[in-house]
Amino acid sequence: MLYISLFVPFLLNIILATYIIPRILVVSVKKDLVIPSETKSKGRLRVPRLGGVSLFPILVISVGSTIVLLLSFFAESFLSMEDKISFVQYMFGMAGLTTMYLLGVMDDLLGVSITSKLIIQTLAASLIPMSGLWLNDLHGLLGIFELPAIIGMPLTVLMVLYITNAIPMLDDVDGLASGLAMIAFTVLGWLAYQAGEPLMMIVCVAMTGMLIPFFYRNVMVRRLGWRNIYLGDTGGLTIGYVLSIVVIILSRLGGTKLPDGVIMTCFGTLIIPMFDVLRVAVTRIINHRNVFLRDNNHIHHRLIQGGMRPMTVLVTILLISAFFVVFNIIGVWSDWNLSLLLMGDVIVWVVIQVVISYFKNKNRELINNG
C-alpha cells in the first residue's frame, strides 16, 4: 500500500507533466497566449506563463486514480464513514482549489483587479476553516497555546492568503517556485508519512512528481535549447493553496500523531517566501508605495543585484531553504522552545539579509566605479 501511494502518483505525474508541457507550449504559441511580463526581461523569446494550468488537472487525475486504486484493491480504507470530518475537509479543499484555479487562469490570460482577486481568494480561503480545519493550537509559539475559534479561524484565513500570495512572487527566477515547492512538499510528505495520513502523503508526492518536469525544463532550458515555460499565477495559486491546506492539516496533528510543536516544521518549509514577502511589504509601506504592485526588491532580485547569475541564485536560495528545514526539524524533534526556535530563524534570516545587502552595495560601487 505504501509503495502504491508513493510510486503511482509520482511516476504518473512525471509522465503526465512531461507529456502535457509541450502541448501547452504549442497551444500558447499557436494562439499567441505568450504574455510578456513587465519586470521580466530574459532574452528575446517571449515565455508563456501558462505552465500552471496543467497542475490542477494533473493533480485531480493522479490523486483520483491513486485513491481509487487504494480503495478498490486494499480493504483497509482511509475514508471510512466515521471519518466524516476529514471527508468534508477534502471536499471543501477541492472546491476552494477549483476556485483558485479558475481565478489563476483568468488572471494569467486577462488580468484580474487586485480587489476582486482578494475577494475571491478570501472566499476560497474561508472554505478551509469552515470545514473545521483551523489552527487551534500554537503549542507555545510566542507563549500562546490553545486558540479560541474566533481568533483561530481568521488567523487560518490570513495564513492561507499569505502563503497563496507568497508563492507567485517566486516565479521570477527559473525554477525557483517549483524548486522551493518541491522541497516543501517533500518534507511535508515525509511528515504526513510519519503521521500516518495517506491521503496527504499522496497529495504531497503527486505535487513533487508533477513539479519535477517543470523544474528540469526551467533549469536545463539554456543548455538544451528548449522553450521555457513559467508556472504563472495559476501555478502559484494552486501550489500555494495545496501547500497551505497540507501545512494546516499537519500542524493540527502536533502533539497527537506528530511531536509537539510540529507547526514550526510545517511553516519552516515556507520560511523564505513568507519572511521575504513580509520584508518587501514592510519596505513598500514605509516608502509609501502600493503594497500590491510588483517591484525588484525580492530576495532573488537582491541576489541578482549582488552580482550572482540566475542559476547561482537558484542554488543559493534552495540551500538556504534546505538549511531552514533541517534547522526546524532538529529544533522540533529535540523539543526546543518554539519561541526560541522562531527567534533563531529570524536571526539567521537577518544575518542573511545583512550579507546580501553588503554584497549588493559592494557590487553597486564596483559598477559605479567602472
Binding of residue 352 to other proteins (CB under 8 A): no
Contact 62, 210 (CB under 8 A): yes
Contact 302, 360 (CB under 8 A): yes
The count of chain residues that interact with other proteins, using the rule CB under 8 A, is: 38
* Residues 99-158 close enough to bind other proteins by CB under 8 A: 99, 101-102, 106, 109-110, 127, 131-132
137 SS3 class: strand
- x/- contact string, 40-79, with other proteins (CB under 8 A)? -----------------x--xx--xx-xx--xx----x-x
Q: How far is the CB of 99 from other proteins (least distance, A)?
A: 6
Q: How far is the CB of 164 from other proteins (least distance, A)?
A: 17
Q: Which residues of 128-152 are buried (b: 16+ CB within 10 A; e: fewer)?
A: bbbbbbbbbbbbebeeeeebeeeeb
Segments in the chain forming alpha helices (H): 2-30, 55-73, 84-109, 114-130, 149-166, 176-195, 198-224, 232-251, 262-268, 271-286, 299-305, 310-333, 338-369
Q: Which is nearer to other proteins, 33 or 315 (CB)?
A: 33
Give φ, ψ of 144 to 5 degrees: -105, 135
Binding of residue 26 to other proteins (CB under 8 A): yes
Residue type, 176: L
Q: How far is the CB of 105 from other proteins (least distance, A)?
A: 9
| Separation in Å, CA 258 to CA 48, 253, 357 | 41, 6, 38
Q: Which of 18, 98, 186, 316 binds other proteins (CB under 8 A)?
A: 98
CB atoms within 10 A of CB 302: 20
Q: Which of 95, 119, 149, 366 binds other proteins (CB under 8 A)?
A: 95
* Residues 308-347 close enough to bind other proteins by CB under 8 A: none
Interface residue list for other proteins (CB under 8 A): 20, 23, 26-27, 30-33, 57, 60-61, 64-65, 67-68, 71-72, 77, 79-81, 84, 87-88, 91-92, 94-95, 98-99, 101-102, 106, 109-110, 127, 131-132
